[in-house]
Amino acid sequence: AAARSRATCLQQATFAYDGMAKLGEGDQRWIVKEREDGRNCNNWHWTSKDVSKNTKEELIRCLEACTFEPPIALARVKSAEVTGEASINNRKGKIFLIYDLEVKLKWEASDGEGGEACKGSMKLPDVSATMLDDLDCEFTCKSSGGVATAMRKQGVAAVRRCIEEAMLRMQEEVRAEKARPEAEAVAETRPPNATPAVAVPLPKPIAVSTVPAKQPPPQPKPAEPAAGSDSGEEEEGEDKLPPALEAALRGLRQEPEAQREVCLANCSLRDSHLEPLIQALHHSRCAVETLDLAFNRLSDAGVHVLCRAVASGCAMELSSLRLGGNKLSPAGLALGQSLKQSRPDLLVDLKPQLKDARSMCTVGNVYPGSPAATAGLRTGDSIIAFGPLLHAGFRGVSESIVPAVKASVGRPIDVVVVRMGEGAQVQQLALTLTPQTWSGGGLLGCILK
């Protein structure tokens, strides 16, 4: 078995080597060369600057000035030592402060009444962007009185808070330096005989179409399916872009700098709908800071594609990504969390809840055997999302929900409700409601008020 395994590995390695370009025969279109004038246009290449010394000195200064609250108000940090590395990295105009530090400090404290006094040390072995909100601390103290106990609890918390605030402040200071116009720096460093800069044409706007990119040429229509068959409608519904996504893509194409927040929560997005969205987010002038994809129909595969695109440089201004409420396994949830390694400034929210959700209406009577009962609606549920309709666009049941129901007969509508669960816990649930005729009255079989 071991011999067969080694043979298989050797065969795979030989295949991989055969598929690689040979020395001197690479495709020139894919070879990145340095410019003769040494310029790094648009900061396309990664640039790194070592700031370890300044970062350590600033962190030590903050720790030695750290203050504590009663009953350890007289505690102080006697000395601090910081080791590790820190650097400023810049790519495509996006600046990151990347650091991996270890902090050791010695402290002393007393109750101020001539009584108990103690001293000890703390060690924080992993101070990095990924661990900043949950720093491990090794606390050492030979005393066991009340002051020592307070330092173990409140003192450690104060030191953690001091380090977090200091690193976040330094990160903001690094980003503030980005405000210096790049054009001035280029003008100062350009040699007198340099060729004048030529305006580089911007990428062509992304054309948005409801027709899939790989759809074959029109063919004669096949025979119509038998009555009662809705397979064609379901297939068309999966390929067609939701109206909310079309509107968002239109804005990203026409005014990319003006689109700071893209809300596509509860819009029935599928994995196949992510490709045009990712293309739009790759626009060189994309300024999206918040992307809300909560409560859609995304699977692990779609989230994997999205996370890979974001990690590779898509939407560099993105600071908040909401994916809660999708049908994700623990592996899919882990993909979102893994983005912190490549994008430490990005907040990935996986909680199953709509942001700033407000009730639009309440479910009254739900009749047995009705579409509402089949969907799982219960009396007392509070509807906070009816398809893409949220409270901001809600004008009343008759004006907003009734027209949406009549326009979606036989087609599913994603609904998010707030329900009181076990133990009096409030939870948001995603349901699928399909309006249709049934033995009773109406298309839903419930009362909304």
| 45, pLDDT greater than 60 | no
Which of 34-38, 189-193, 384-388 comes out lowest in average pLDDT?
189-193
For residue 372, which amino acid is it? Answer: A
84: phi > 0 → left, psi -120 to 50 → alpha, else beta; which? Answer: left
Judging by beta carbons within 10 Å of its beta carbon (0-12, 13-18, 19+), is residue 331 exposed, middle or buried?
Answer: exposed
pLDDT tens digits along 396-409: 999 999 999 999 89
What is the predicted pLDDT for the residue at 246?
Answer: 92
Interval 349-378 mean pLDDT: 90
| 46, pLDDT greater than 80 | no
What is the predicted pLDDT for the residue at 16?
Answer: 46
CA distance 265 to 245: 10
Which of 5-14, 104-113, 301-310, 351-360 comes out lowest in average pLDDT?
5-14
The residue with greater pLDDT, 50 or 15, is 50
Is residue 127 within 8 Å of residue 135, measured between CB atoms? yes
Tokens found for residue 153: 């609890």
Interval 104-109 mean pLDDT: 92
CA distance 56 to 35: 35
- 3-state SS track over 339-403: HHHHCCCCEEECCCCCCCCCCCEEEEEECCCCHHHHHCCCCCCEEEEECCECHHHCCCHHHHHHH
The residue with greater pLDDT, 304 or 225, is 304
What is the predicted pLDDT for the residue at 28?
Answer: 56
Tell me which residue of 122, 120, 155 sits closest to 136, measured CA to CA.
122
- Residue 277's pLDDT band, with cuts at 50, 70 and 90, is very high
Which of 34-43, 55-64, 271-280, 347-356 comes out lowest in average pLDDT?
34-43
Interval 249-266 mean pLDDT: 91
Tokens found for residue 429: 């649930």
Cβ density class 229-255: b for 16+ within 10 Å, e for less: eeeeeeeeeeeebbebbeebbeebbee
Is residue 345 within 8 Å of residue 96, measured between CB atoms? yes
CA distance 410 to 292: 27
DSSP state at residue 152: I
| 328, pLDDT greater than 90 | no
Q: Which residues pair with 431 in a beta bridge?
A: 415
Tell me which residue of 60, 90, 89 sits closest to 166, measured CA to CA.
60
**Average pLDDT of every residue of the chain:** 79
Which of 44-48, 148-152, 228-232 comes out lowest in average pLDDT?
228-232
